[in-house]
């Protein structure tokens, strides 16, 4: 179906009418919908795997590990916690509010939400966000990516089978359709993608003063820092795994790695060995290795590699027909080179040498740039690492590990600045898709005249004296 602006407007109106019936306010009903979603995800497992293979050449293992399993665990966590999260908070009103004793904070849904999902993890980053929206008691319009066409087609059929359109609707199409969606008045918008498009989403949302959550990749990319005391074999193994995953098309992936020059040569040797062991020397011929999403993405990657051809120490080749470009190490690269000042979103890995004694200068330069979505440190100096993690500005990260902070239950996933705003996963997602409403329970008895006129004369003096007692 080709959508026009009026079609989308009618979808939004139908969802608003359904929301106003109050059915989504019932927490028990929400849990029932989440259970339906979970069962449907498992029943569609094979179709999702096939679609991920068609769009990104993902193997069944990688599809399950990166999209299907995290989606199911996200739904499970939400089902288990929702009753507790949605329970109204009860607060003592305080002497200033006498004779009121009780104030409630209700966790209210926003209403009709818009979810704009990306191509790189099309199942997880659509259904994971949907889980948070439905948990909050909202309805949802999903604008799925046109780049991951096979996944969008399966998701569209999936959503239509599981939910009525007045509750959840998936809309496909390109940027023009996304703009038609943004032209409508939603109550909450959640966008996952690039900082450039994030700015556009915010601009359009501002026209209706719609609150926005943004999960972005970070304009100058995510840093990994390997100090001279790091376990080089362990660091290289983990870096190689992560750059191979989805061919580097991950918002929290390592954009560039800074390595202490005292250990840079043995680190490079370990990294090359790790790549070879995990995927072989001709990754583009390995059926388990994912592809870049489009020919345009492949050409962009290949062109950038050619610009740095003299710096390639591993890889530097690919197969345009299959859109697979081999993992490629670029060394040495200056911290001020253009390639380390933009998000790559591909299997190129610039290696930036630094003197370990000048680590503070390196971290200061990283801090001066746009805030990344992730930061990774490899070192035996845990004290230093903890100090850095508590002083830098970034979304999330790991010490002596990569990416798995994303899998921890009960913690937020979020960015800051150019890497985003808002947070989700588990209770944090529920909070993102609800707004707290404070309601004081008043009384018709024992009301004092302290707050009422007159404020002058002897009565005013007495009232002022009593009011000042509250500041002591």
Q: Mean pLDDT throughout 131-139?
A: 98
Does the structure show a pLDDT above 80 at 65?
yes
Give which of 80, 207, 98 is closest to 445, Cα–Cα.
Answer: 98
CATH of the domain at 183: 3.40.605.10
Q: Does some domain include residue 46?
A: yes
Q: How many domains does the chain have?
A: 2
Same domain, 182 and 310: no
> Going by C-beta distance under 8 Å and a sequence separation of 6 or more, which residues neighbour residue 407?
70, 73
**How do residues 191-225 score in pLDDT, each as one tens digit?**
999 999 999 999 999 999 999 999 998 888 899 99
* One domain, residues 69 and 173: yes
Average pLDDT of span 153-176: 97
Annotated catalytic residue within 251, 323, 346, 398: 251
397 in the same domain as 428: no
Query: What is the 3-class SS of 446-468, one letter each residue?
Result: CCCCCCCCCCCHHHHHHHHHHHH
Residue 455 belongs to some domain of the structure: no
First-to-final CA distance of the chain: 67
Find the mean pLDDT for residues 367-383: 97
Does residue 193 sit within a domain?
yes
CATH number for the domain including 299?
A: 3.40.309.10
Please state the rounded mean pLDDT for residues 137-151: 98
Q: Does residue 463 lie within any of the structural domains?
A: no
447 has a pLDDT exceeding 90: no
Does residue 232 sit within a domain? yes
- Whether 472 maps to a domain, the answer reads no
In this prediction, residue 217 carries a pLDDT of 86
Same domain, 387 and 306: yes
- The pLDDT of residue 54: 98
Do 249 and 348 lie in a common domain? yes
Residues 176, 258, single domain; the answer is no
Active-site annotation holder among 77, 215, 270, 343: 215
Q: Closest Cα to residue 165, out of 112, 235, 225?
A: 112
Facing residues of 440 across strands?
Answer: 103
The predicted model gives 12-33 an average pLDDT of: 98
Instruction: Clarify whether 215 is annotated catalytic.
Output: yes
Q: Which of 61-70, 226-235, 417-426, 451-460 has the lowest mean pLDDT?
A: 451-460
Q: Report pLDDT for 229.
A: 98
Q: Residues 6 or more apart from 247 whose CB is under 8 A from it? A: 56, 289, 290, 291, 292, 324, 325, 346, 347
- pLDDT score at 321: 97
Maximum distance among all Cα pairs of the chain, rounded to whole angstroms: 91
Closest CA to 191 of 366, 421, 9: 421
Residue 456 falls within a domain, yes or no?
no
pLDDT value, residue 449? 82
**183 and 91, same domain (yes or no):** yes
* Same domain? 244 vs 387: yes
Asked if residue 467 is part of any domain, the answer here is no
- Contacts with 203 (C-beta within 8 Å, 6 or more apart), sequence order: none
pLDDT at 246: 97
**What is the residue range of 153's domain?**
5-218+422-435
Closest C-alpha to 113, from 37, 205, 30, 244: 205
pLDDT at 471: 77
Spatial separation of the C-alpha atoms in residues 145 and 125, rounded to whole Å: 11
Pair (259, 128) in one structural domain: no
Helices 149-162 and 45-56 cross at an angle (nearest 10°) of 160
On whether the CB atoms of residues 95 and 470 are closer than 8 A, the answer is yes
Whether residue 194 sits in one domain with residue 63? yes
Weakest mean pLDDT among 47-61, 155-169, 329-343, 438-452:
438-452
Residue 450, pLDDT above cutoff 90: no
Instruction: Report the Cα 402 to chain-centroid distance in Å.
Output: 16
Same domain, 116 and 248: no
pLDDT above 90: residue 470: no
- Say yes or no: 382 and 240 in one domain: yes
What pLDDT digit, counting tens, does each position of 298-351 carry? 999 999 999 999 999 999 999 999 999 999 999 999 999 999 999 999 999 999
Quote the tokens at residue 276: 């070879």
What is the average pLDDT score of the chain?
96
Q: How far is 238 from 187, CA to CA, in rounded Å?
A: 41
| pLDDT attached to residue 298 | 98
> How far apart are alpha carbons 363 and 386 in whole angstroms?
13
pLDDT value at residue 468: 86
């Amino acid at each position: 179906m080709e959508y026009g602006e009026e079609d989308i407007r009618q979808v939004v109106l139908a969802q608003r009418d359904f929301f106003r019936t109050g059915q989504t306010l019932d927490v028990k009903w929400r849990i029932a919908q989440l259970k339906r979603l979970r069962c449907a995800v498992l029943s569609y497992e094979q179709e999702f795997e096939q679609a991920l293979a068609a769009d990104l050449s993902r193997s069944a293992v990688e599809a399950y590990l990166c999209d299907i399993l995290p989606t199911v665990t996200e739904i499970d966590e939400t089902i288990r916690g929702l009753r507790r999260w949605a329970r109204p908070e009860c607060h003592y009103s305080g002497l200033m509010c006498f004779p009121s004793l009780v104030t409630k904070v209700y966790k209210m849904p926003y209403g009709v939400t818009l979810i704009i999902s990306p191509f790189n993890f099309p199942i997880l980053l659509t259904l994971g966000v949907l889980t948070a929206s439905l948990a909050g008691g909202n309805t949802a319009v999903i604008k799925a990516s046109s780049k991951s066409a096979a996944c969008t087609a399966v998701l569209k059929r999936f959503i239509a089978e599981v939910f009525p359109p007045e509750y959840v609707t998936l809309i496909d199409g390109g940027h023009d359709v996304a703009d038609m969606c943004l032209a409508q008045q939603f109550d909450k918008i959640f966008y996952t993608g690039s900082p450039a498009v994030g700015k556009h989403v915010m601009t359009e949302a501002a026209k209706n003063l719609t609150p926005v959550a943004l999960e972005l990749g970070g304009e100058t990319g995510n840093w990994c820092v390997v100090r001279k005391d790091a376990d080089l074999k362990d660091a290289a193994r983990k870096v190689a795994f992560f750059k191979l995953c989805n061919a580097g098309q991950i918002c929290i992936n390592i954009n560039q790695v800074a390595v202490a020059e005292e250990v840079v040569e043995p680190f490079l040797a370990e990294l090359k060995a790790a790549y070879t062991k995990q995927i072989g020397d001709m990754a583009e011929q390995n059926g388990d290795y994912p592809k870049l999403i489009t020919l345009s993405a492949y050409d962009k990657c290949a062109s950038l590699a050619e610009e740095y051809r003299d710096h390639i120490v591993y890889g530097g080749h690919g197969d345009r027909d299959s859109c697979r470009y081999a993992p490629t190490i670029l060394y040495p690269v200056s911290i001020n080179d253009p390639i380390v000042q933009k998000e790559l979103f591909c299997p190129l890995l610039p290696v930036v040498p630094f003197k370990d004694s000048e680590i503070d200068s390196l971290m200061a330069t990283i801090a001066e740039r746009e805030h990344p979505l992730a930061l990774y440190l490899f070192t035996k100096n845990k004290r230093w690492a903890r100090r850095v993690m508590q002083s830098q500005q970034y979304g999330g990260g790991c010490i002596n590990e990569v990416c798995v902070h994303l899998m921890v239950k009960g913690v937020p996933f979020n960015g800051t600045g150019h890497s985003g705003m808002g947070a989700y996963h588990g209770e944090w997602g529920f909070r993102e898709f609800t707004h707290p409403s404070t309601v004081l329970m008043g009384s018709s008895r024992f009301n004092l005249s302290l707050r009422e006129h007159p404020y002058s004369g002897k009565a005013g003096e007495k009232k002022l004296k009593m009011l000042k007692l509250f500041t002591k």
